[in-house]
Structure 1
Amino acid sequence: MSSDAPLYERDPEAWNAYLAEGNARQARKRVGADVLIRDERGWVLLVDPAYKPNWDLPGGMAESNEPPAAAARREVKEELGLDLEIGPALVVDWVPPHGPWDDSLMFIFDGGVLEAGQIADLQIVDSELQNFRFTAPAEMAGMLRPYVLRRVQAALATLRGGITTYCENGYSVTSPRSHQG
């Protein structure tokens, strides 16, 4: 093999060592994966976590090396006993550092519209949750933290517009609004 060949071809072992060193030094991001589930009226399923203020979407944090969509599916099943096919990503939101938390990436996936029988079967199966309910989008402002509300509103807009939205702190990067807040 010629000495002009790239390192990954000349010396695969050295290439793997190079990648391992980069992996050890590069920043790691927490990843959260939530699911936007609606009823036939278009109301959104919210959950009331026992461990934090305000309501939220069903979902949670991805485990090490777990794809976000798989995390979303696992979390919904663990929380509500609902084994749901996860649809496309509606929102990817970069959340800046806040309090003791580093920055993170939050996904919202489409969970579709549940039929009456599926809704009747919903139950809390995880002590992390205190309650759940379907909520009209207009009523979510008093229930969700502001940046979570912006993220959910972006997801609802994506459902109407058909393209995944990238946000920073809940604000669409294509929005004329400031990314502060």
Structure 2
Amino acid sequence: MSPTPADPEAWNAYLAEGNAKQARKRVAADVLVRDPLGRVLLVNPTYKPGWDLPGGMAEANEPPEEAVRRELREELGRDIGLLGLLVVDWVAPHGPWDDQIAFVFDGGTLRDDDALRPHDQELSEARFVPLETARELVSERMRRRLDAAVRALEDGRPMYLHDGTTDW
């Protein structure tokens, strides 16, 4: 017989046991930021090859939108408001990594990019580039996510991707 909420201590122990068996997902949160010319903000991480959208991995129990805000403060010294969700992408296990959920948020247009420079050792560079250049600089996985984010902006609604595609 399973415990019931009538016995809070037993009920919480029962729920904790179930929680311990549940899958844990890694969460990534990035942001699409443009300048007044429509160029896309990219960052060049020092810990992996290639360019990326600004953002990073969420910490334990951190909401994705807070993770991307934190990453932007840590890496670029900027507080950038988020205008909404553009993409959710379930990423299949790859290499040594388990699956993850990746979010891309709309960071709107940044008008003052004078102070846009790395503030920690995780980035070597940050700059605005034309969309086509951005597509060439990022990984294939990020390119699919970037393309979906741009489509979501145009369509006015978020997109769900399954490992970078809508073919699910």
TM superposition score normalised by structure 2 = 0.94
Tell whether 2:18 aligns with 1:34: no
Q: What does 1:31-180 correspond to in 2, within 5 Å?
A: 31-115=27-111, 118-173=112-167
Higher RCO (C-alpha under 8 Å, 6+ residues apart)? 2
Percent identity (aligned): 55
Equivalenced residues, count: 166
Aligned AA for 1:157? Answer: R
Deviations for 1:82-108, whole angstroms, at most 9, x for unmatched residues?
111122111010111111011100100
Aligned to 2:18: 22
3-state secondary structure, aligned to 1:134: strand
3-state secondary structure, aligned to 1:121: coil
3-state secondary structure, aligned to 1:167: strand
Aligned AA for 2:144? Answer: R
Unaligned 5+ segments in structure 1 are 1-5, 174-178
Tell whether 2:1 aligns with 1:7: no
Native 8 Å contact 2:116 2:126 kept in 1: no
How far apart, in 1, do the equivalents of 2:116 and 2:129 lie? 15
Cα drift, residue 7 of structure 1? 2.3
Cα drift, residue 14 of structure 1? 2.3
Aligned to 1:3: none
Native 8 Å contact 1:158 1:165 kept in 2: yes
Unaligned 5+ segments in structure 2 are none
Native 8 Å contact 1:72 1:86 kept in 2: no
TM superposition score normalised by structure 1 = 0.87
How far apart, in 1, do the equivalents of 2:128 and 2:36 lie? 10
3-state secondary structure, aligned to 1:47: strand
Question: Based on CA coordinates, which of the two structures has the bigger radius of gyration?
Answer: 1
How far apart, in 2, do the equivalents of 1:73 and 1:137 lie? 23
Native 8 Å contact 2:116 2:127 kept in 1: no
Aligned AA for 2:4? Answer: L
Native 8 Å contact 2:75 2:120 kept in 1: yes
Native 8 Å contact 1:90 1:109 kept in 2: yes
